[in-house]
């Protein structure tokens, strides 16, 4: 059995003959979602460069990119390319749930561990899939959705909530959980879908105002939340607004300007602006890539560091399957949160924290359940 | 839907529709003279938006510009977008289409060239300007200025509507009153005969592209002002506006205006009735229905000849 | 007398002055400006990646660095060579062309003439198709099966619609989605329960029928539209199918898609076999379907039906006047193409085991059209090559350029190819003749189009 597995992966020696060990990233590096892919890629690159600069690994770490455009149909070739490169010992990604669905059987067959920083579809960790080498490095959306619902129900005592998803895996999942929570609390919910890249948000904003809702949940990413927030302000919406970690990003405030003021944002990540480590990360990132870190940059950075920590512990004797098993059992405290996984590779739950945009800054409020009381 | 809500959405729809109309004219003009679906027009539109963004970033309007300064910024941004749109369209005609036209290539070849050019341009824009969306710096404080049937109209919408109307009226005059317009109509009716009558076809076509490009570029600015700027922003409005041009009767300038407004209103009305996610579906259903009953579009052919 | 002479001279010189163009407008220099502009564009294309923090970053980098000078030197060099050394180069190029073209042309002629040779080559191609993939790396096997073979099957289907019947279909990929969702439905993986759960093999005939019916439903009211109108209607149809897949969560699973769709398997006369995630078995399955479809379609091409399609493509009105039932034959082409697309969808879905709406964007319909034209529409080897080349290219480019720039190069390639070789890689003979006639102004290349813009 072991021999068979080794023959399959072709990974007998310690990761390639020339002493280099590679960490790959699989995600959208072309097509419509490049911005997100680049955020993650840079996080991975930064972690690898820092580890090499430190020089205590005893071997050289290299970065490999594999572009799947975020599409299920392109993901198999992208994954196979990574698998065929024998010096790759771990993969950060795949970034999107659809791509994860088609790539994971291949990774499972090769015993090559993949830790996704962003694939949130709850069904991915269903044991029926047999995705044995997939670890989810991001909480699926149930805690956030539930947190939003509790906060609206208990703290703000909302009566009618306008709930929007953006027709992505992420948005639909988050909105689904929030809807359940709100309904359980006896709140009237208007569930709507506004797909990404809608050309004009004016009509939607008007609909929100006309519905006389006193609170709003936007389950989606900042690229679309920003123009929507602007139109909401123009339409004269006065109620509360909340969004999840896809929007919890400085770029949301930059793009939406004043309109983002008072928006609530949730995140499973702890206070990102206070901790010294995060500040240093932002500064390093800015220096290396001439731009600020974006959505999932810090998560990818954390996951890469988690992998590097395991490599360091293995002292160079790295093979794919032992690394996979070690990572599955590991617990790692990163900048954003503590990473550990249950037996299906699901992220072990963390608390959800609430932020609010105040004076053009995303200000930390506290643990959402404690705030709700 | 109450009556008040109906007016609200109608006003929003007409505003959006006026924007579609301006883009649709770009398609229709080129179709008129070349019988060509200029798939790359959506990239002209996108680059126009970047033109205005570049101008505004260079000028940097600051926090609270005075009313006069606001007008200046808007005018300059619009000029920047017109320049970018015009230059892109000119280059497109010169590089991609003219060699094909010279050898009388069939339109299918033009279509593939247009698709290739569109791929090239939007990926190049993503490479040059970055792939995250951006917003235009604020040029004025947007607020409601008056109301129509109780529906508030804000400055952005006034700007959008006025610009669209001015451009459409100007274009109508240009096509119907000037020498260039006569040339355009002549080429649209029969290029060969027009050339025998002494019309410089190359020049007329080139200028038609530039006019379409200027309109597309300015539409890009208006759209960026309404939403945001990104390298993939052209595709969806481009397809919608093309549908609008066909609904109105492709090749027919007034038809493009009518089609644009119709599609804008249909899309906007879909939001309260069916939900945002169905807006493109209803636009396409209207397109198919119109073509089933009026195969040449609402207003039919005017500038071009039968397809 | 002399006064008259001088005045005549004056007029003549004035006229010649009028006729003289400024130096910078002479053709040689306009060509130079064009090459300079091309050089700048090349510098931008090969320059650094920009970012949104500073939108001038990339522009500045590529317009001030040494890269610009290299690009300019290159393009201006090409200009200089063409202007000042054109005769020897042209001679050499012509010779080279003749040297390559003559045996190539001769081979083609022999192929068309000699049946035995033709069958021999087809047999050889088939043997190569069966043997070569097992020697490739697993990555290229995956590309070959998951992308190239699927798109080859699609291209053959679209070739019937556009290459033979001349219908401009911009919604071809929608039928692929219909096939894919049929598979998910009949294997019980959609939120709605099927009457019974089937093996993917049995879904193929069902998908064919479903796509035929869908194709007829769409085609019947719209096929009287011509050319560009048909294009926009089919495009709208694709958009509708895509959005329904995305929005009708209760039926299609919405953005979350359908997963755990079973692989092909059979259990017949004691022989059991299940296709797994290994690429090769699926490759043989796909080769079987591709060959089957090619055999069926090439029999059609040379039958009465194929001749009717050609007549419709070349001149629909004349065809109708000669008693061809144009509507029926157009519908037939449309439906046949649609069902091929559906079969490809079934195989795709079963191979991947998962679909979501993002597999079926409008872009795919546009791309597949580009593959067919690029390869040479109307010719089966041509469209196979077109699909293979254009699907392979972005995958191969991964190793050489920034991933995000790949489609920029693909776009540029499409434009260049259409300018210099509009008939495609391996055009059909008939198509080549049509294009040539169109160039000479003797007729139209397609029923859907007279040459654009007339002749300058």
pLDDT digits (tens, 9 = 90+) for A99-149: 999 999 999 999 999 999 988 888 899 999 999 999 998 887 788 888 999
User: A54 with A15: CB under 8 angstroms?
Assistant: no
User: With contacts defined as CB-CB under 8 Å, which chain C residues touch B118?
Assistant: 411
The answer, yes or no, to whether residue A10 has pLDDT greater than 50, is no
Question: The whole model's pTM is what?
Answer: 0.91
Gap from C247 CA to chain B (nearest CA, Å): 7
Tell me whether residues C354 and A172 touch, CB distance under 8 A.
Answer: no
Ordered DSSP codes for A32-101: TTHHHHHHHHHHHHHHHHHHHHHT-SSSEEEEEEEE-TT-HHHHHHHHHHHHHSTTEEEEE---SHHHHH
For residue B101, being part of any structural domain is answered with yes
Tell me whether residues C370 and B242 touch, CB distance under 8 A.
Answer: no
- Specify whether A49 is located in the same domain as A155: no
- Specify whether A224 is located in the same domain as A259: yes
Residue B153, strand partner residues: B146
d(CA B170, CA B167): 5
Q: B68 lies in which domain range?
A: 20-232
For residue A13, being part of any structural domain is answered with yes
Q: Identify which of B37, B123, B133 has the shortest CB distance to residue C231.
A: B37
Task: Return the pLDDT at A278.
Answer: 79
What is the chain A residue with the closest CA to C356?
A: A98
User: B88 with B213: CB under 8 angstroms?
Assistant: yes
DSSP for residue A341: B
Helix (H) or strand (E) holding C106: helix C86-113
For residue B267, being part of any structural domain is answered with no
User: With contacts defined as CB-CB under 8 Å, which chain B residues touch C44?
Assistant: 124, 127-128
- Specify whether A132 is located in the same domain as A163: no
For residue A297, being part of any structural domain is answered with yes
Q: Which of A101, C227, C153 is nearest to B108 (CA)?
A: C227
Confidence of residue A11 (pLDDT cuts 50, 70, 90): very low
- Specify whether A254 is located in the same domain as A301: no
- Specify whether A312 is located in the same domain as A331: yes
For residue A171, being part of any structural domain is answered with yes
For residue A149, being part of any structural domain is answered with yes
Task: Return the pLDDT at C6.
Answer: 61
d(CA C322, CA C311): 9
For residue B306, being part of any structural domain is answered with no
- Looking up tokens 């700048």 gives C40
Q: A161 lies in which domain range?
A: 141-267+352-372
Q: Which of B5, B10, B131, B274 to mutate to test the interface with A (most CBs of A within 10 A)?
A: B131
Confidence of residue B300 (pLDDT cuts 50, 70, 90): confident
> Backbone phi, then psi, for A60, in 5-degree steps?
-90, 130
Tell me whether residues C415 and B278 touch, CB distance under 8 A.
Answer: no
The per-residue pLDDT for range A165-175, each reduced to its tens digit, is 999 888 988 99
* Average pLDDT score over residue span A64-85: 94
Task: Return the pLDDT at C441.
Answer: 63
- Specify whether A292 is located in the same domain as A260: no
The better pLDDT of the pair A262, A56 is held by A262
Taking every pair of Cα atoms in chain C, the longest distance, rounded to a whole number of angstroms, is 114
The per-residue pLDDT for range C185-239, each reduced to its tens digit, is 999 999 998 998 988 899 999 999 999 999 998 888 888 777 778 888 999 999 9
What is the chain A residue with the closest CA to B264?
A: A200
Number of domains in chain B: 1
* Average pLDDT score over residue span B66-92: 94
Gap from C351 CA to chain B (nearest CA, Å): 29
Task: Return the pLDDT at C382.
Answer: 92
Tell me whether residues B227 and A195 touch, CB distance under 8 A.
Answer: no
For residue B283, being part of any structural domain is answered with no
The answer, yes or no, to whether residue A23 has pLDDT greater than 70, is yes
Helix axes B41-59, B3-34, angle to 10 degrees: 110
Tell me whether residues B8 and A210 touch, CB distance under 8 A.
Answer: yes
Task: Return the pLDDT at A9.
Answer: 37
**A291 in contact with C at a CB cutoff of 8 Å?**
yes
Tell me whether residues A202 and B15 touch, CB distance under 8 A.
Answer: yes
User: With contacts defined as CB-CB under 8 Å, which chain B residues touch A291?
Assistant: 130
List the A240-243 sheet strands across, edge first.
A188-193, A160-165, A215-219, A240-243, A264-267, A353-358, A361-367
Task: Return the pLDDT at C339.
Answer: 93
Helix (H) or strand (E) holding C370: helix C362-375
The per-residue pLDDT for range C1-37, each reduced to its tens digit, is 556 666 666 776 776 766 666 777 778 888 888 889 9
For residue B255, being part of any structural domain is answered with no
Within the 270-289 window of chain C, which residues sit less than 8 Å (CB to CB) from chain A?
A: 277
User: With contacts defined as CB-CB under 8 Å, which chain C residues touch A65?
Assistant: 403
For residue B123, being part of any structural domain is answered with yes
The per-residue pLDDT for range C92-134, each reduced to its tens digit, is 888 887 777 666 667 666 666 677 888 888 889 899 999 989 8
**A207 in contact with B at a CB cutoff of 8 Å?**
yes
- Specify whether A68 is located in the same domain as A91: yes
Confidence of residue A72 (pLDDT cuts 50, 70, 90): very high
- Specify whether A112 is located in the same domain as A166: no
Tokens describing residue A227: 């123009």
For chains A and B, CB pairs below 8 A equal: 86
- Specify whether A43 is located in the same domain as A124: yes
User: With contacts defined as CB-CB under 8 Å, which chain B residues touch C45?
Assistant: 124, 127
**What sign does the CA torsion over C86, C89, C95, C97 have?**
negative
User: With contacts defined as CB-CB under 8 Å, which chain C residues touch B99?
Assistant: 419
User: With contacts defined as CB-CB under 8 Å, which chain B residues touch A198?
Assistant: 276, 279
What ipTM, to 2 d.p.? 0.92
The answer, yes or no, to whether residue B305 has pLDDT greater than 60, is no
For residue B180, being part of any structural domain is answered with yes
- Specify whether A131 is located in the same domain as A189: no
The per-residue pLDDT for range B180-201, each reduced to its tens digit, is 999 998 988 888 888 888 889 9
Number of domains in chain A: 2
**A168 in contact with C at a CB cutoff of 8 Å?**
yes
What is the chain C residue with the closest CA to B293?
A: C221
Tell me whether residues A203 and B271 touch, CB distance under 8 A.
Answer: yes
**A64 in contact with C at a CB cutoff of 8 Å?**
no
The answer, yes or no, to whether residue B18 has pLDDT greater than 80, is yes
The per-residue pLDDT for range A175-203, each reduced to its tens digit, is 999 999 999 999 999 999 999 989 899 99
For residue B89, being part of any structural domain is answered with yes
For residue A345, being part of any structural domain is answered with no
- Specify whether A281 is located in the same domain as A334: yes
Q: Which of C38, C251, C418 to mutate to test the interface with B (most CBs of B within 10 A)?
A: C418
For residue A120, being part of any structural domain is answered with yes
Q: Identify which of C255, C259, C407 has the shortest CB distance to residue A101.
A: C259
The per-residue pLDDT for range A277-332, each reduced to its tens digit, is 778 888 899 899 888 888 888 889 999 999 999 998 887 677 899 999 999 999 99
User: With contacts defined as CB-CB under 8 Å, which chain C residues touch A81?
Assistant: 139, 398
Gap from A200 CA to chain B (nearest CA, Å): 7
What's C305-321 look like in SS3? HHHHHHHHHHCHHHHHH
* Average pLDDT score over residue span C362-389: 93
For residue A347, being part of any structural domain is answered with no
Which CATH number fits the domain that encloses residue A211?
3.40.50.2300
Q: Identify which of C168, C240, C415 has the shortest CB distance to residue B108.
A: C168
Gap from B9 CA to chain A (nearest CA, Å): 7
Mean pLDDT of chain C: 86
d(CA B288, CA B302): 21
């Amino acid at each position: 059995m072991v021999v068979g597995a080794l023959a399959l992966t072709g990974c007998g020696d310690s990761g390639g003959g020339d002493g280099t060990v590679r960490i790959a990233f699989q995600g959208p590096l072309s097509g419509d979602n490049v911005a997100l892919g680049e955020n993650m890629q840079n996080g991975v690159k930064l972690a690898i460069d820092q580890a090499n600069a430190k020089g205590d690994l005893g071997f050289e770490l290299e970065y490999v990119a594999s572009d799947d455009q975020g599409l299920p149909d392109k993901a198999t070739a992208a994954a196979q390319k990574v698998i065929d490169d024998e010096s790759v010992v771990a993969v950060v990604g795949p970034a999107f749930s659809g791509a994860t669905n088609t790539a994971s059987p291949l990774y499972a067959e090769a015993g090559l561990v993949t830790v996704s920083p962003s694939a949130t579809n709850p069904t991915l960790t269903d044991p029926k899939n047999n995705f044995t080498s997939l670890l989810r490095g991001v909480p699926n959306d149930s805690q956030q959705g539930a947190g939003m619902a509790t906060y609206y129900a208990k703290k703000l005592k909302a009566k009618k909530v306008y709930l929007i998803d953006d027709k992505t895996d992420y948005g639909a999942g988050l909105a689904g959980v929030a809807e359940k929570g709100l309904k359980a609390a006896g709140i009237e919910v208007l569930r709507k879908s506004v797909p990404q890249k809608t050309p004009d948000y004016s009509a939607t904003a008007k609909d929100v105002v006309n519905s006389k809702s006193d609170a709003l949940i936007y389950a989606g990413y900042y690229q679309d939340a920003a123009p929507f927030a602007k139109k909401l302000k123009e339409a004269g919406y006065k109620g509360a607004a909340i969004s999840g970690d896809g929007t919890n990003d400085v770029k949301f405030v930059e793009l939406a300007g004043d309109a983002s003021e008072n928006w609530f944002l949730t995140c499973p990540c702890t206070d990102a602006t206070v901790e010294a480590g995060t500040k240093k990360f932002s500064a390093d990132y800015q220096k290396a890539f001439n731009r600020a870190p974006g959505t999932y940059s810090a998560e990818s950075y954390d996951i890469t560091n988690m992998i590097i920590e395991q490599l360091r512990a293995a002292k160079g004797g790295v093979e794919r399957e032992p690394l996979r098993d070690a990572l599955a059992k590991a617990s790692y405290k990163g900048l954003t949160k503590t990473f550990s996984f249950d037996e299906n590779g699901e992220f072990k739950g963390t608390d959800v924290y609430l932020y609010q945009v105040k004076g053009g800054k995303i200000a930390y409020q506290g643990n959402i359940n404690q705030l709700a009381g | 839907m109450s009556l008040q809500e109906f007016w609200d959405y109608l006003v929003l729809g007409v505003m959006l529709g006026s924007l579609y109309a301006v883009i649709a004219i770009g398609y229709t003009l080129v179709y008129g003279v070349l019988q060509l679906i200029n798939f790359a027009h959506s990239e002209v539109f996108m680059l126009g938006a970047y033109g205005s963004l570049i101008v505004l970033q260079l000028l940097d309007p600051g926090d609270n510009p005075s009313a006069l300064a606001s007008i200046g910024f808007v005018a300059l941004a619009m000029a920047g977008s017109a320049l970018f749109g015009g230059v892109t369209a000119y280059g497109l005609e010169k590089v991609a289409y003219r060699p094909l036209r010279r050898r009388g290539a069939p339109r299918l070849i033009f279509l593939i060239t247009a698709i290739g050019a569109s791929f090239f341009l939007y990926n190049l824009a993503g490479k040059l300007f970055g792939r995250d969306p951006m917003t235009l710096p604020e040029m004025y404080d947007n607020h409601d200025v008056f109301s129509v049937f109780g529906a508030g109209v804000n400055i952005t919408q006034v700007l959008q509507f006025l610009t669209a109307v001015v451009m459409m009226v100007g274009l109508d005059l240009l096509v119907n009153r000037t020498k260039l317009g006569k040339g355009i109509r002549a080429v649209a009716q029969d290029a060969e005969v027009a050339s025998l009558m002494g019309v410089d076809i190359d020049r007329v076509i080139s200028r038609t592209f530039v006019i379409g490009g200027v309109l597309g570029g300015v539409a890009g600015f208006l759209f960026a002002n309404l939403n945001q700027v990104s390298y993939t922003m052209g595709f969806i409005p481009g397809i919608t506006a093309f549908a609008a041009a066909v609904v109105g009767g492709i090749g027919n300038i007034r038809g493009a205006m009518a089609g644009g407004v119709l599609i804008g209103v249909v899309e906007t009305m879909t939001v309260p009735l069916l939900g945002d996610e169905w807006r493109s579906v209803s636009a396409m259903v209207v397109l198919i229905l119109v073509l089933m009953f009026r195969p040449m579009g609402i207003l039919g052919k005017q500038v071009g000849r039968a397809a | 007398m002399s006064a008259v002479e001088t005045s005549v001279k004056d007029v003549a010189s004035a006229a010649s002055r009028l006729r003289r163009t400024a130096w910078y407008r002479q053709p040689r220099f306009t060509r130079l400006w064009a090459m300079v502009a091309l050089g700048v564009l090349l510098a931008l294309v090969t320059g650094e990646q920009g970012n949104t923090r500073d939108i001038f970053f990339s522009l500045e980098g590529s317009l001030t660095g040494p890269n610009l000078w290299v690009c300019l030197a290159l393009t201006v060099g090409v200009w200089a060579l063409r202007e000042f050394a054109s005769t020897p180069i042209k001679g050499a190029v012509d010779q080279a062309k003749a040297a390559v073209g003559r045996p190539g042309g001769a081979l083609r002629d022999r192929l068309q003439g000699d049946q035995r040779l033709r069958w021999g080559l087809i047999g050889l191609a088939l043997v190569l198709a069966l043997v070569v993939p097992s020697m490739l790396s697993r990555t290229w096997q995956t590309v070959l099966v998951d992308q190239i073979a699927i798109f080859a099957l699609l291209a053959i289907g679209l070739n019937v619609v556009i290459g033979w019947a001349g219908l401009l279909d911009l919604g071809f990929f929608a039928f692929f989605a219909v096939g894919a969702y049929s598979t998910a439905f009949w294997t019980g993986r959609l939120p709605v329960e099927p009457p019974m759960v089937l093996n993917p093999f049995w879904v193929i005939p069902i998908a064919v029928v479903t796509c035929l019916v869908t194709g007829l439903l769409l085609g019947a009211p719209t096929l009287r539209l011509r050319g560009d109108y048909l294009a926009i209607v089919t495009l709208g149809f694709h958009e509708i199918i895509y959005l329904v897949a995305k929005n009708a969560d209760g039926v299609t699973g919405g953005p979350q898609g359908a997963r755990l769709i079973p692989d092909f398997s059979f259990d017949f006369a004691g022989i059991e076999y299940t296709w797994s995630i290994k690429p090769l078995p699926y490759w043989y399955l796909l080769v079987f379907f591709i060959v089957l479809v090619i055999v069926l379609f090439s029999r059609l091409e040379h039958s009465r039906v194929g001749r009717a399609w050609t007549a419709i493509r070349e001149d629909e009105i004349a065809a109708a006047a000669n008693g061809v039932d144009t509507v029926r034959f157009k519908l037939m082409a449309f439906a046949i193409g649609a069902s091929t697309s559906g079969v490809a969808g079934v195989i795709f879905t079963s191979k991947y085991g998962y679909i979501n709406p993002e597999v079926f964007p409008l872009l795919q319909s546009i791309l597949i059209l580009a593959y067919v034209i690029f390869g040479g529409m109307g010719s089966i080897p041509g469209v196979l090559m077109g699909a293979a080349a254009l699907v392979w290219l972005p995958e191969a480019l991964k190793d050489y350029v920034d991933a995000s720039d790949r489609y920029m190069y693909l776009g540029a390639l499409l434009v260049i190819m259409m300018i210099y070789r509009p008939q495609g890689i391996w055009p059909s003979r008939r198509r080549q003749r049509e294009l040539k006639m169109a160039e000479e102004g003797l007729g139209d290349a397609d029923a859907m189009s007279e040459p654009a813009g007339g002749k300058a």
